[in-house]
Amino acid sequence: MLTGPGTTTQTVPATPSRQHWLSSGWRAGVLLVALIVALPVLTVFSFVFEPAGEVWRHLAATVLQDYVVNSLLLMLGVGAGTLLLGVSTAWVTTTCEFPGRRVFEWALLLPMAIPAYIIAYTYTGLLDFAGPVQGTLRELTGWGYGDYWFPQVRSLGGAVVMLSLVLYPYVYLLTRAAFLEQSVCVLEVSRTLGASPWRTFSRVALPLARPAVITGLSLALMETLADYGTVQYFGVNTFTTGIFRTWFGLGDPGAAAQLSALLMSFVFMLILLERWSRRQARYHHTTSRYRRLPRHRLQGWQLPVGLAVCLVPLLFGFLVPAWQLLVWALRTAPEMLGTEFLQLTWHSLMLAGSAALIALLLGLFMAYGKRLHGNWLVQGAVRVAGMGYAVPGTVIAVGVMIPFAAFDNTLDGWMRARFGVSTGLLLSGTLAALLFAYTVRFLAVSLQTVEAGLGKIRLSMDDAARSMGYRPGEVLRRVHMPIMRGSLLTALLLVFVDVLKELPATLILRPFNFNTLAVRAYELASDERLADAASASLAIVLAGIIPVILLSRSIAHSRPGHA
C-alpha cells in the first residue's frame, strides 16, 4: 500500500515470484496441518506391528471374542433400527400430507440433541425395577418381584434401542434431502404406469436415494462404534469399554492401542463397504426443471399409520427423555445448581468454544488451500485431515496420549540429565492435549461445512480479486469470508455442540480434578444418582437444539423452488 500526503491509497500487485512463494507456503501449511492431525491415527496404527505382550494374549484368550461379537451385533441392530426409523419418516414427511407434517419435518431431528449416554440414563431411571413404570405396574396388579416379566433395559438389546432412537436422524436427514432433490417426472411416470405409492417408493425413489441412505447409515454405525457411555452403563462389552479397561485397569497403553487399531479396522471396513456398495451405480437427475413435490393426502387408516410413523421416534427419542430430565432437574435444582454447576458450565463452554474456533480456523485454512491447489497431494492431505470424525474418541485419546507422554518423558529425562531440573508434564494431562484431541475428532465437521460454503462461490470471483493484486489470504478474508458468514457460523455451532457432548476423549485426557457437564453427568449416573445427573444432562440437550434447528432449515430449503 502506498500512502502519503496528497496521495491516494492503491494496492500494489504482488510480483509473480512472491505470489508463487505465497502459494507454495499455503500448500506446505496444508500438508503440515494434515500430518499433525493424522498423528494420533498413525500412532495407533503403528502398534499393529508391535509384538503381542502378555496383556494382549490374555485379552485374546478371554474377552476379545466378546468385544468383536457384541460390537458386530450392536452394529447390526442399530443399522436395522436407524434404517427403519430414518427412511420411513423421511418418506412420509416428504411425500405425504397430514396434520402436523410441517412440525414433524424439523422435530424429527430433535433426538440428535440428546447424547446416547444421556437417553440411556433416563430410560434406566424410568424402566428399572425401582422406576415409575414398573412401580405403577405393581401397584395396579398387586404383583411382586419375580411375578412378571419385564424387558431388561441394561442389555445389548437395550443399547440397540437407545442408540437407534438418537442416531436415526442421520439417516432421516440425508434421506429426506435426497427425496427432496429427486425429479417429479420420474415419480409421476412411475404412477402413470400403474405403480402404487408403495411400489413407487420401493422400486424408484428408494434406489435413487441409496447413496444418501448408505451415507447416513455409515455415520450412524460409526457413532455406534464410538459410543462409550451407553455400553459401559449397560454392561455391554465392546471395543470402547475394553480400551478403557486395558488402559486404566491393566495399565498397558500398548495393548490398549492394539485394541484401538482393531476397532479402527471396523471403521475403515464401513467406509470401504459404503464405497463398494455403489461402485458400479450411477445416479442422474432426469430433468433440471423442478416444481413443488406432489404430496399424497393421508386418509382413513393411512392417517393414524402416518402419524404413528412420525410420532413414535419423536416421542421416545426426545419428548419422553426430555420431559423426565426436566422433572428430575426441577426436583434436584436446589442442590445441584450451585457454584460447582456454574464451574462445570464454564469449563464446558470454554473447551467447546476454544475447540470450535480452532477447528473453524483450520478448516477454513485447509478448505481454501484445497481451492487454491486442486492437485492430488493437497486433496489427499485434506481427506486425511478429515478422517478423524470416523475414528472413535477413545481411539483418538489413546493416539494423543502415547506420543504426548513420550515427548514429556523424553524432555524430562534430558533436562534432568543435563540441568538437574524436572519439566514435569507439559502436554499430557493438560488442556492442550484435550483441545488437540477435539480438533482431530471434529475437524471434519468444520472442513465439510466450510467446503460446502466455498463451493457456492464462483472461481471467477477469485480471479477478479487476484487481478486487483489481492494475495490469497486477502481474497479469503475480504471476499470469501463475508459471503460465507452463514456457513462459518454453522460450522462453529456444529463443532461446539459435538465437543459439548464428547465423553470418552474427555474422560481419558482431562486434567486432574477438571470436570465438564458431560463427565459430571456420567459420574453421577454411574453412582446411580440419575436424578442428580439431570441438570448437567439437560444443559447439554438444550445446547444441542440450536444446530438441529439450523440443519432442519437447511434441508427444508435444499430443493430448488423449496419443498
User: Tens digits of per-residue pLDDT, 9-33?
Assistant: 343 344 444 445 455 677 888 888 8
Lowest-pLDDT range of 396-410, 470-484, 509-523: 470-484
SS3 16: helix
Spatial separation of the C-alpha atoms in residues 98 and 332, rounded to whole Å:
40
At 314, is the pLDDT very low, low, confident or very high (cuts 50, 70, 90)? very high
Average pLDDT over residues 479-506: 82
Q: Which three cell numbers mark 439?
A: 480438533
Element (H, E) at 377: helix 376-385
pLDDT value, residue 284? 45
pTM across the whole model: 0.82
User: Which tens digits make up the pLDDT trace of 385-436?
Assistant: 877 777 888 888 888 988 888 888 888 888 888 888 887 778 888 899 999 9
pLDDT value, residue 196? 56
User: Which tens digits make up the pLDDT trace of 332-346?
Assistant: 888 878 788 889 889
At position 424, the amino acid (one-letter code) is G
What is the widest separation between alpha-carbon atoms in the chain? 97
User: Which tens digits make up the pLDDT trace of 68-85?
Assistant: 999 999 999 999 999 999
Spatial separation of the C-alpha atoms in residues 30 and 350, rounded to whole Å:
27
Residue 315, pLDDT above cutoff 90:
yes
Residue 476, pLDDT above cutoff 90:
no
- Check the CA dihedral 523-527-530-533 and report its sign: negative
Average pLDDT over residues 264-285: 65
Average pLDDT over residues 470-499: 78
Residue 491, pLDDT above cutoff 70:
yes
Average pLDDT over residues 347-352: 91
Count of C-beta atoms within a 10 Å radius of residue 223: 19
Q: Which residues pair with 296 in a beta bridge?
A: 96
Lowest-pLDDT range of 191-200, 221-230, 363-372: 191-200
User: Which tens digits make up the pLDDT trace of 290-313?
Assistant: 455 567 787 888 889 989 999 999
Lowest-pLDDT range of 28-42, 435-449, 468-482, 533-547: 468-482
Lowest-pLDDT range of 60-69, 138-147, 222-231: 138-147
pLDDT value, residue 426? 81
At 454, is the pLDDT very low, low, confident or very high (cuts 50, 70, 90)? confident
User: Which tens digits make up the pLDDT trace of 232-243?
Assistant: 999 999 988 988
At position 86, the amino acid (one-letter code) is G
Average pLDDT, the chain: 80
Average pLDDT over residues 444-448: 82
Percent of the chain with pLDDT over 90: 18
Average pLDDT over residues 166-171: 90
At 89, is the pLDDT very low, low, confident or very high (cuts 50, 70, 90)? very high
pLDDT value, residue 18? 46
Residue 355, pLDDT above cutoff 90:
yes
Average pLDDT over residues 82-95: 90
pLDDT value, residue 391? 80
pLDDT value, residue 21? 45
Whether 480 contacts 454, CB under 8 Å: yes
State how far the alpha carbon of 403 is from the alpha carbons of 36, 39, 512, in Å: 12, 8, 19
Domains of the chain: 63-127+153-278 (1.10.3720.10)
One-character DSSP codes across 310-350: HHHHHIIIIIHHHHHHHHHHHHHHHHHSSHHHHHHHHHHHH
One-character DSSP codes across 459-508: HHHHHHHHHTT--HHHHIIIIIHHHTHHHHHHHHHHHHHHHHH--HHHHH
SS3 99: coil
At 57, is the pLDDT very low, low, confident or very high (cuts 50, 70, 90)? confident
At 5, is the pLDDT very low, low, confident or very high (cuts 50, 70, 90)? very low
Residue 257, pLDDT above cutoff 90:
no
